[in-house]
Amino acid sequence: MPANAKPIARLFAALLVLALATTSTALVLVIRVPEDYRSIGAALAAAPASAIIEIAAGTYVESLVINAPVSLRPAGSGEVLLAPETDEPVIAVMDTEAVTIEGLSITGGEYGILVTRSQDVTIRDNIVSDSRLVGIKVRLGAADILDNTVFHAQPPYGMGIHVTNTTQWPTSRVIGNLVFGHTRSGIYTNMTGMIEVIDNVVTDNGQHGIAITEMSHADVFGNVVVDNTLTGIQLLDMSIAHICDNIVSDTRGSSEAPQIRQGNGIIIDYHSEATLSGNTIQGSAQHGVSILFGSTALLHENSIEDSEAQSVYVDESEALEGSGCAGEE
């Protein structure tokens, strides 16, 4: 081999890698609304896989269906407001994966954002308000719901974030959201395999702040749950959770539920199992912690103050001394 053959071969290989990387980047198509297409729906219909749809500031009266891996985001700093044409989801993500929805304002509709039969969906930094049923709902799918503001889902059924029927899907994450002013619960799960509910602020909801129900498995860490009705954090119906390092305060009572099940800071109910560690619970209209109907709770270094009744109430259940949650000092 000539003396200069190896350096030439290395240079050729480097140029080939650079060419491939440049080609890969070029394949990510950016589609602009309304410059390229007058409506977001038309842009979605034309978008190839992995396209980014950038939307100029303005109000768009559309109901969108996303069934391919694409991203929606604002084109600049102005507000992009989506409102539905009829009573249906404003954005429905269906039968796909690798979708990102970020930075949008979404108002009204049956759901603000609905994810179904889809995974690897990221919902980030959106403002979702005034949905008829649920602001953000994940059903038969998996999503990361991150740093959104979700408020004022309408009476009589409105909830903030609802994750349901995900036992056969990857873990969903609900992290860093502000969820407030809903007729019913702020964050609600049922029949989830595993879900992470972390660092959310959940306040002024008409029923539960955070409810983990119907055989759900959850990590509920570091949330601020303030001024909700019925319960701050509820674990119900054979669910299992680590509930750690949350602040739960000023849970109000309500005539909508039996006295034993309303006004509690944290309630573990109906054959559920929980580790409660490092929580601060104060100002509950009923008990700080209630453990009911065949449930088991491991308690470790919780601070419970100013409950109107008992700090910890146990009925047909077990309250045992436990250890901290994984990752605690």
Tell me the CATH number at 207: 2.160.20.10
Q: Is residue 306 part of a domain?
A: yes
Q: What pLDDT, on the 0 to 100 scale, is given for residue 310? A: 86
Both tokens of 6, joined, read: 């190896």
Q: What pLDDT, on the 0 to 100 scale, is given for residue 306? A: 86
Q: Is residue 157 part of a domain?
A: yes
Q: Is residue 2 part of a domain?
A: no
What are the residues whose beta carbons fall under 8 Å from the beta carbon of 61, sequence distance 6 or more?
83, 84, 85
Residue of 140, 151, 280, 124 lying closest to 205 (CA atoms): 151
Both tokens of 303, joined, read: 């601070």
SS3 30: strand
Query: Which tops the pLDDT comparison, 324 or 277?
Result: 277
Backbone angles phi, psi at 151, to 5 degrees: -150, 155
Both tokens of 25, joined, read: 């980047």
Task: State the amino acid at position 30 in one-letter form.
Answer: V
The H or E element spanning position 26 is helix 5-26
Q: Are 123 and 99 in contact (CB under 8 A)?
A: no
305-321 confidence digits (pLDDT tens): 988 888 999 999 999 99
Domain containing 198 equals: 74-321
Q: Are 217 and 241 in contact (CB under 8 A)?
A: yes
Q: Please tell me the distance from the alpha carbon of residue 262 to that of residue 232, in angstroms, as a whole number.
A: 10
Both tokens of 163, joined, read: 């994750």
DSSP 72-136: EEESSSS-EEEE-SSSS-SEEEES-EEEEEES-EEE-SSEEEEEES-EEEEEES-EEE--SSEEE
Report whether pLDDT(5) > 60. no
What are the residues whose beta carbons fall under 8 Å from the beta carbon of 202, sequence distance 6 or more?
160, 179, 180, 186, 187, 209, 210, 223, 224, 225, 226, 228
Q: What pLDDT, on the 0 to 100 scale, is given for residue 18? A: 41
Q: What pLDDT, on the 0 to 100 scale, is given for residue 13? A: 42
213-263 confidence digits (pLDDT tens): 999 999 999 999 999 999 999 999 999 999 999 999 999 988 878 889 999
37-53 confidence digits (pLDDT tens): 999 999 999 999 999 99
Both tokens of 35, joined, read: 């410059």
The neighbour count for residue 17, using CB atoms within 10 Å, is: 10
The stretch 118-126 carries a mean pLDDT of: 98
The neighbour count for residue 97, using CB atoms within 10 Å, is: 14
Q: Is residue 44 part of a domain?
A: no
Q: Is residue 8 part of a domain?
A: no
Q: Is residue 6 part of a domain?
A: no
Q: What pLDDT, on the 0 to 100 scale, is given for residue 297? A: 97
The stretch 51-65 carries a mean pLDDT of: 98
Q: Is residue 259 part of a domain?
A: yes
Cis peptide before 34 (omega within 30 of 0): yes
Q: Are 111 and 136 in contact (CB under 8 A)?
A: yes
What are the residues whose beta carbons fall under 8 Å from the beta carbon of 255, sequence distance 6 or more?
none
Q: Are 82 and 57 in contact (CB under 8 A)?
A: no
Q: What pLDDT, on the 0 to 100 scale, is given for residue 308? A: 82
Q: Please tell me the distance from the alpha carbon of residue 202 to that of residue 196, in angstroms, as a whole number.
A: 15
The structural domain count of the chain equals 1
Q: Is residue 287 part of a domain?
A: yes
Backbone angles phi, psi at 115, to 5 degrees: -115, 125
CA distances from 62 to 53, 158, 161, 316 (A): 15, 21, 22, 52
Q: What percent of the chain has pLDDT over 70?
A: 91
Q: Are 299 and 318 in contact (CB under 8 A)?
A: no
For residue 79, how far is the Cα from the chain centroid? 22
Report whether pLDDT(286) > 50. yes
